Structure 1
Amino acid sequence: MAVALAAGAGAVVLGAGPEAEPAGGGRGLPPATATVVRTDLVSSKTVDGRLDYAGRRPVKSAVPGTVTVAAEEVATVRQGQALYELDDKPVTLLYGPVPMFREMRTGDRGTDVLQLERNLRDLGFGGGLYVDPRYDAATEAAVKRWQKSLNREPTGRVGKGDAVFQPGRVKVVSADAALADQVGPDRAVLTVASPRPVVRADLDQADAPLTAPGTRVEVTLPSGTTVRGKVTGTVRPGGAGAGAGDAAGGGGGGAREGITVEVTLDDGTPAGEDARATASVRFVSESRKGVLVVPVEAVVALRGENGGYGLEVVEGTKSRMVRVETGMTADGKIEVSGAALREGMRVGVAAP
């Protein structure tokens, strides 16, 4: 009768064994032996990955128009700088979590007004401006000063297509609209990401426990350098993303029936790595330090009233069955423990 042992990475099928018996037990010696060793046991999964930037997301034009200056790929754009130009007018990057959902003018109130005023102050146009959620005469004056600096008509109003709010500076990872393209709310003009480099890797839905933020990862970069990192975000099928400090989603795409994981390297990505080449990403799901292990096939299921599992310990020309507790499994080995078990013991296994 075969018995399934559930441990660590999955179910291990063991052959039926005898009850715990005294030395010899009336049986011959096993056909082969293995040594009980003390080591670190690690359960892991290795998949291919690629170098990228965190939190890819598309930027669409809030209003229809013609691209007169296209986005510059690989450029890092900061507060107050233009992402691209539409109808010969710059579309400016401003910082804040609230998207540009309306034209702002005198008399308006809201968190979008508050973040606009913070940007005007930070960019040096906030003289006499009290930063609050009210769009008043001082706000209008500050906006006019900002518009004049951009060679725009100083209307004192901020249109939906004048600016794009993002959490911070962005890296332009792709220019999705070229010069003279017609764009609007239904089309991405560019795709941006955080300037923070990451490694992206695709996992199956069954590997969801490995996607938890903070999961430790070992990455072998295209150059062969091995570095450590941790999971900091995911991009799920359909473009709904989640991440630590970034809006993730859309542009990077996940595996159709899986999860794309973003891994941040502890010391950043070393210079000179080929972004087009494949990296190897090793996820550690479980580990044990300094435990006794044997080959999985050494463990036998004990029959009888007490059941459990044991190892056939070989001592010279005799053998005896030792009852053990089992733990995690990895790479064909299993963690074992027991009062009668010692490092260096020889235990029976099936013939190779």
Structure 2
Amino acid sequence: MSETESAAAAPVAAAESKPRRLRGHKKGAVTCCVASSARPGVVASSGEDGCLCWFDLRTKDALLTMEAANKPISSICFKPGNEDFVYISAGNEILSFDVRMGTQSKPLETYNYNRDEINQIAVSSKGFLAAADDSGDVKIVNTIQKCLYKRLREAHTSICSSVQFIPWRPWTAITGGLDSKLAAWDFSKGRTLFSIDYGSPELQNGSSSGSAGQCFNPAFVHSVAVSEEGILGGLYKGPPRAAILTTRSKGAELGDGSCNQSRAKRIHLDYTMGGHTAAVSCVAFSAFGEKGKFLISGGNDASVKLWDWSKGFYSETNSKVDLVLDIDVKKKVNWLCTAPTDSDNLIVCDTSKVVKVYSFR
């Protein structure tokens, strides 16, 4: 693990040199993890072995291992307001489980509205579930009435890799795809509010034309994170906006969600700032530290970066974003999340079957 020179001045101490290892998955890579907001220290993970594992960071062993699917699980999320229920995606199916039923739990609900493999699912506070798949479509399911609500299509021309709801705008969803596009949706009407094409020449780091380098470094969107309303309330003065973090090949980009591409404020966190040297696979706003102060990115270069993004994004001065920590995790990163307990914990899923926990004191 290495630190940048700015780390000494940052309010986050160095991570432990060796991570704790949480074992529970049988084989293959751990694909996704999510931290409980209602139970501090509880983390759920999913894997290529079709298993769900629950961990308490105060213990070493899994609290529960459930054989949930007979195929790899691509995504997992808790049901808002009742985290005894969890949703997973496996293949083109969405399944829900009650963890109180134990290891032999059977799916409570099964949804088969997606025709291609699902890459990510998300659930809103109003009970709508979004599933982004390889066809470029996003299906919105009403989990209360247990039916298909809307089909979002024609914004993406390739694989739709990620989807998130905006917490304080209950009818708005954000999607990203391998067509290099980010789209905001009014899913109650099934139409786009705006779309940003990161593959366009004007967004290619100031390039005036489609360069040959674009063929080798496409601006694919692999992951999207949306800040909480409370984060914006403390850092942004003006109408509420989405602080949207997207991953791209060899870089992460933070934007304000504006539909006007020419006026929207963006920060591109690439290798010139100490960032990733290969595709960024996952991004997240941290749940520890001053609320909204840090964002975390993980990549195919087997590293995790912790950034203090607020200086560069909301400051009226020319303050630069700080790279606070640079952690070598040895393997490609599939997913990550944060879970503050007595210490600040960063949970990393990589191409191994072990969940790794880096703690900050």
Point out the structure with max Rg over C-alpha.
1
Alignment TM-score, normalising by the size of structure 2: 0.21
Higher RCO (CA-CA < 8 Å; seq separation 6+): 1
Alignment TM-score, normalising by the size of structure 1: 0.21
